[in-house]
Amino acid sequence: MGYIEIEKVSKWYKKDHLIIKDLTLSVAKGEFLVIVGPSGCGKSTLLRMIAGLEEINSGVIKIEDEVVNNLSPADRDIAMVFQNYALYPHMNVYKNLSYGLKNRKVPKDIIDKKVKETSKLLQIEELLDRKPSELSGGQRQRVAMGRAIIREPKAFLFDEPLSNLDAKLRHQMRLEIRKLHDKLGITSIYVTHDQVEAMTLADRIVVMNGGRVEQIGTPDEIYNTPASIFVAKFMGTPPMNIFQMKISDGKIDFFGTSVEISNPDGMVFVGIRPEAIQDARSDIVIEVLVTMVERLGSENIIYGECQGEQIVIKSKKMPEKNNSMQFYLSKESIYIFS
């Protein structure tokens, strides 16, 4: 039994246009669940429904075995952290942190103690007198997190909380969020566009597409055993190469190499991750005409053509444009989607 249960939940604004379609999801107590999916697939809507900020049209949401469909956001005891921080601009950090507790008539000395603890945890003790406009993006984000933590809620919901920060700060905050989670163990649902965030933060990842769940699994499962071409192409940068090929007599002709495939004969989609294509000799050799190279520093992304098909390769090699080059891959690195 999950700590947060979403059972056959649907949401529509217009009856003939479902935003969330019969979605079922179970989140374990203490779990860090990350939701990814393309823009408009319903991630924020799902979070808002769990928080009670958005009504659901059918289905049931339970928190700790209690049906919360008709509970107000305040009664659900869930804290939400948004991309735009949503701090009160006219209040200083101390007041931003303590506002919710004060509203609930928590005694002043306890508020004081909690603000001290929380600001220490997030290293914002020096900033308590400042207004949000006097803080950097990262500091504001910490205050927003502090405001969520201080309430000791049943769960945290994060909606792309780091997407306004620069890459370095995002990395730092990512590590801190994971550390905080390890320390506090509060059930968390975290929406992000950032694959690295998803892979590194998640106990489990939910890949959503068009209001449905495409796959739920550990980061390893999502990356190594994608359930569909959609998941395969969504997780991994650059995305997996996909070629349409024909299995006949139990084999495909993979750009000149015959490879045995256990699927039944017929047309299939064959997937190869750009990072699975190697410089060192292996089972399969492919001849690639290099059309463009992007330098990333530690490695390069090579765009090319293989028997007229477009192919993307991650490699340490730095080939010249318009040259032909040999690359290798092992038979085990081939994915088949039927």
Ligand X SMILES: Nc1ncnc2c1ncn2[C@@H]1O[C@H](COP(=O)(O)OP(=O)(O)OP(=O)(O)O)[C@@H](O)[C@H]1O
Of the ranges 29-37, 43-51, 120-128, 282-290, which one interacts with Mg ion (CB under 5 A)?
43-51
Which of Mg ion, ligand X, none sits in contact with 146, Cβ below 5 to 8 A by type? Answer: none
Residue in the block written with tokens 């305040």: 74
Using CB positions, name the residue nearest to Mg ion.
44
Please tell me whether the peptide bond between 73 and the residue prior to it is cis, using omega within 30 degrees of 0: no
CA-wise closest residue to 152 among 125, 113, 190, 202: 113
Of the ranges 12-20, 37-45, 51-59, 177-185, which one interacts with Mg ion (CB under 5 A)?
37-45
Closest CB to Mg ion among 44 and 98?
44
Q: What DSSP string describes 18-72?
A: EEEEEEEEEE-TT-EEEEE--TTSSHHHHHHHHHTSS--SEEEEEETTEE-TT--
Cα distances (Å, whole numbers) of residue 310 to 46, 134, 165, 305: 37, 50, 34, 5
Footprint of ligand X on this chain (CB under 6 A)? 13, 19, 37, 39-45
Of the ranges 41-49, 257-265, 272-280, 322-330, which one interacts with Mg ion (CB under 5 A)?
41-49
For residue 195, state whether it binds Mg ion (rule: CB under 5 A). no
- What is the nearest approach in angstroms of ligand X to the Cβ of residue 38? 7
- What is the nearest approach in angstroms of Mg ion to the Cβ of residue 83? 8
Which of ligand X, Mg ion, none sits in contact with 217, Cβ below 5 to 8 A by type? Answer: none
Closest CB to ligand X among 12 and 99?
12
Angle between helices 93-103 and 137-149 in degrees, nearest 10: 20
Closest CB to Mg ion among 161 and 271?
161
Which of Mg ion, ligand X, none sits in contact with 250, Cβ below 5 to 8 A by type? Answer: none
CA-wise closest residue to 153 among 178, 118, 120: 118
Helix (H) or strand (E) holding 182: helix 167-184
What amino acid is encoded at 197 in this protein?
A: E
- What is the nearest approach in angstroms of ligand X to the Cβ of residue 30? 25
Closest CB to Mg ion among 111 and 148?
148
Closest CB to ligand X among 35 and 311?
35
Closest CB to ligand X among 43 and 204?
43
- What is the nearest approach in angstroms of Mg ion to the Cβ of residue 185? 26
Rounded to whole angstroms, the Cα distance separating 197 from 190 reads 10
For residue 44, state whether it binds Mg ion (rule: CB under 5 A). yes
Q: What DSSP string describes 198-265?
A: HHHH-SEEEEEETTEEEEEE-HHHHHHS-SSHHHHHHSSSSPPEEEEEEEBTTEEEETTEEEE--SPS
Q: List interacting residues with Mg ion (CB under 5 A).
A: 44
